[in-house]
Structure 1
Amino acid sequence: MPVIELSYSRLQKLIGKVSKKQISDSLPFLGLDIESEVKDLVRIEYSPNRPDYSTDFGIALGLQGLLGIKTGLLKLTVKKSKNYSITVKPSVSKIRPFVTGIIAKNGKIDDKTIKQFMTMQEDLHFGIGRKRKKSSIGIHDLDKISFPLTYTTVDKNHKFIPLNSEKELSISEIITETETGKDYGHLLGQSSQVPIIIDSNKKTVSFPPIINAGITTVTTKTKNLFVEVTGINKADAEDMLSVVATILQSAGFTLEIVQISGAKNSSPKLEERKISVDSSLINQTLGLDLSTPKIISSLRKSRLNAISKGKKIECTIPPYRFDIFGPMDLV
């Protein structure tokens, strides 16, 4: 089970008017197991099925609902824009065919926020990304990138300065000499070509699923972000993006669309879904006698939208809750 370290004082700021004891008492009701507590810090285990709990922003979102501070669905607000686009070349189709992304602007980033983002990224890689094989994320300083971008392939002689390095390396050197290259280079198979994202000035942005370019490193001075997700399946890539987008909006960023086209790729939809459930199924399964208003209130505390429609309750599911497949998951 993945583990995350949280600060009670930071959670209090994110949630609103709530005591440390209220947070501590409520965490298990989100399905979170407290592993240890030392003064202001608490380490918790969370289910891999809830990757939104990989940061304190996601946990604060859940606690706000449980404690009745903010209930109902957090609606993703993604502004339309023609300023950001990615063109996908057919050459990636047999290697890592899909890319998606989003722009996040006007956020405040400190060292603790960077740590939270890094934890989220690695937990997503390990969980739904299946150790980066199915999908992987790159988070970049938007202001260091010139759009439009191209997702294409290059040979292994291609050079750039990778993250956490001061010198230019070839793709071959990155794969054989860097830690991430040694860990994940095998995911690209034996192909002589590798996937790459380049900007309009021909600068390398990312070498997925291995490493970002050093020039786009996120720091405490970063205000605007570009997030890209690549993968072997479009749905998996968009699921991962939906978690990141939700966390970034919760962190105070405003979101903008990235237009994506070429080689069977398209712009992310990040759509909500609707699932109906019968109140009798809930009561029979749980052995309770809950009224329809009480069920709706409970669903809203779970950060879903719910309304009564005839004999059924219609729930609106946010895109990041891809762990909800049908009525029994709502029960």
Structure 2
Amino acid sequence: MPTVAVDKQDLFDLLGRNYTHKEFDELCFDFGIELDEDTTDDVAGTDERPEYKIEIAANRYDMLCIEGIAQALNEYLGNTDTPKYTLKPAEPEISLTIDQSTEEIRPYACSAILRNVKFNQRNYDSFIALQDKLHTNICRQRTLVAIGTHDLDTIKPPFFYKALAPEKIKFAPLNQTEVMDGNRLMEFYENDKNLGRYLHIIRDSPVYPVVLDSNGTVCSLPPIINGNHSKISLNTKNVFIEVTATDKTKAEVVINQIVAMFSRYCDDKFSIEPVKIISEHNGQTRVCPNIKPRNMPAEKDYINSCLALDLSTDEIRKLLKKMSLPAKGSTTDGNIINVSVPITRPDILHQCDVMEDCAISYGYNNLKKTSPKTVATTAHPLPINKVSDILRTASAQAGWLEVMPLTLCSHKENFENLKAVDDNTKAVKLENPKTVEYQVVRTTLVPGILKTIKENKRHSLPIKVFEAGDIVLKDDSLERKARNQRNWCAAYAGKVSGFELIQGLLGKVMQTFRTPWLEDPTTGEHGFWLVESDDKKMYFPGRGAKIMLRAKKGKESVEIGHIGVLHPEVVTNFEIPFAVSTVEINSEIFL
């Protein structure tokens, strides 16, 4: 979790009183943050001012500076209300136009203006430090989001965000006098301890992102450095803030935190001048920042059941107010509390977050110890785990070895290697995979088993393995948009395909579940049978089949899996020099 260093006396001044070390430590603990270090003794006898180093929750971006910490603690203590942010003027007079060329590198941008800011050395340093903390935290070392701040009086709107060839970008970087193009800049900062670690983000791209004013003056080359022409100082009165990103949501969170924390230093407190973002090529034209609070409905019964309390709507509302979450009861449902989530609280994503803040506000130490209101608390295995154990036992008794491959695999292994097409309706994909080996959550157990055979191909033949594990499939009907499904899969690898053996194992498993083989499915009897099918392209033509099941006599039949001899191309894709047969079924059908 991030640690924020704040001036001790400045924080006390903002809180309206001085605290002993013990008092402030307890306040932090009650609020859910941690006082990590007090440097009072370390700086005694020097000119340095004592600091508190406070550990903040990683998702509380609003508390990455002294202003945010003081605001949150003051609201918790009841010293102040949640700020009411306003856009002035209501309609933007300045625009930032995003060119389609940015789609190639960093396609999103946000912007805002702070007018008539009064900087002193302390709040100026805090302004810079907040940007550094955001870059380290939510911005992921500038790979997702990069922030640029400029003296608006030195540049001329409207502004433009484009992607240009490196040699076409010429400007003097921050604190430099030499005018450089993009290529020279990369050479210049190659060994810089601070900026050198960001060069890789855009270095290999044919175009670099750049923010320009109406005169063509370079404001910044995100995510590397701002231009020296528009650098801010203690004398800056009007601040132009631009944020470029590969993730629009994170960009908006970042711009909101900056304007929320430092609009307090404007002559017109908590007022923000909006900027019109013109992005016609992708339909993202809008006014930025969006300071309208989000509505988050939370159930009173849910909060009380989690906390073992019996709080009224008014009591919950008062508790949430202390956590920067204004709320009021629903006029149509007495069990619903409508929580108004301000721009400073992007961490509130679900009613469980509201419940947690209620607990913090109420005080964890004040919660009474109670026994669960249930008849029994004895744990039992899930029914699907019992089914899996039966499958494992039956397979092992037949002489097959269980394997446990990883749940993540590459996109190629899950689709191309199996001669399947990704229609974007099944696979859950990782947004930022660490390696190409872990790009998707598997939608079938076959790739993992084949990779296991590949790594053990020097073992004696035949290789007979199985797995009973989860796959994950997209499901828009669920809140999480995906669901787990327990499958069972087996594979036989040898000099011959061994299809009759893999079919025999399927028969053994079905027999264990008292599901007979049906010679004639038209009788309507309970049982299973195979239907030849070439739907699965991973099987050799004419050597693949669907597994059909009728759970009860007279019921409709359903497809529960597939069986067949793998196509030579599939086997080659996994570097297996043997013939392979596989079978896979959805084991949840036996619940």
Decide which of 231, 254, 258 is 1:240's aligned counterpart. 254
Distance 1:23 1:107 in 2: 31
| Contact 1:8–1:20 (Cα < 8 Å) also in 2 | no
What displacement does 1:271 show? Answer: 3.0
1:103 is matched with 113
Q: Secondary structure at the match of 1:64?
A: helix
More displaced stretch, 191-200 vs 174-183: 174-183
1:69 is matched with 79
| Contact 2:113–2:272 (Cα < 8 Å) also in 1 | yes
1:260 is matched with 277
Q: Secondary structure at the match of 1:258?
A: strand
Distance 1:297 1:275 in 2: 16
Counterparts of 1:1-331 in structure 2, within 5 Å, are 1-15=1-15, 17-21=16-20, 23-39=24-40, 40-71=50-81, 73-79=82-88, 80-157=90-167, 158-178=169-189, 179=192, 180-188=194-202, 190-252=204-266, 254-262=271-279, 263-264=281-282, 265-266=284-285, 267-268=287-288, 269-309=290-330, 310-331=334-355
Distance 2:91 2:210 in 1: 24
What displacement does 1:82 show? Answer: 4.0
Once the two structures are superposed, what CA deviation does each residue of 1:32-55 show, in whole Å capped at 9, x if it has no partner?
Answer: 211111334211111220111111
What displacement does 1:83 show? Answer: 2.9
Distance 2:24 2:216 in 1: 48
Does the C-alpha gap of structure 1 residues 173 and 189 become closer, same or farther in structure 2, counting only changes over 3 Å? closer
Distance 1:107 1:20 in 2: 30
| Contact 1:175–1:181 (Cα < 8 Å) also in 2 | no
Distance 1:152 1:275 in 2: 37
Counterpart residue type for residue 220 of structure 1: L
| Contact 1:11–1:56 (Cα < 8 Å) also in 2 | yes
What displacement does 1:65 show? Answer: 0.7
Q: Secondary structure at the match of 2:343?
A: coil
What displacement does 1:239 show? Answer: 1.2
| Contact 2:139–2:146 (Cα < 8 Å) also in 1 | yes
Q: Secondary structure at the match of 1:62?
A: helix
More displaced stretch, 222-231 vs 168-177: 168-177
Does the C-alpha gap of structure 1 residues 10 and 227 become closer, same or farther in structure 2, counting only changes over 3 Å? same
| Contact 2:299–2:336 (Cα < 8 Å) also in 1 | yes
Distance 2:24 2:215 in 1: 48
| Contact 2:92–2:273 (Cα < 8 Å) also in 1 | no
Distance 1:137 1:104 in 2: 15
Greater length-normalized contact order (CA 8 Å, ≥ 6 residues apart):
1
Q: Secondary structure at the match of 2:104?
A: coil
Q: Secondary structure at the match of 2:215?
A: coil
| Contact 1:58–1:250 (Cα < 8 Å) also in 2 | no
What displacement does 1:81 show? Answer: 4.3
More displaced stretch, 156-165 vs 143-152: 156-165
Counterpart residue type for residue 83 of structure 2: L
Distance 2:312 2:24 in 1: 28
More displaced stretch, 266-275 vs 209-218: 266-275
Q: How many residues align?
A: 329
Once the two structures are superposed, what CA deviation does each residue of 1:112-151 show, in whole Å capped at 9, x if it has no partner?
Answer: 2122122211111121111111111111111111101111
| Contact 2:301–2:335 (Cα < 8 Å) also in 1 | no
Larger gyration radius, structure 1 or structure 2: 2
Distance 2:272 2:7 in 1: 26
Distance 1:82 1:65 in 2: 31
- TM-score, with normalisation over the residues of structure 2? 0.53
Once the two structures are superposed, what CA deviation does each residue of 1:268-324 show, in whole Å capped at 9, x if it has no partner?
Answer: 223311112122211221122333322111100101111122222110001231211
| Contact 2:11–2:66 (Cα < 8 Å) also in 1 | yes
Distance 1:23 1:166 in 2: 47
Distance 2:264 2:3 in 1: 21
Counterpart residue type for residue 52 of structure 2: V
What displacement does 1:67 show? Answer: 0.7
Counterpart residue type for residue 33 of structure 1: E
Once the two structures are superposed, what CA deviation does each residue of 1:200-221 show, in whole Å capped at 9, x if it has no partner?
Answer: 1111101111110112222111
Does the C-alpha gap of structure 1 residues 211 and 164 become closer, same or farther in structure 2, counting only changes over 3 Å? same
* RMSD of aligned alpha carbons: 1.8
Distance 1:144 1:35 in 2: 41
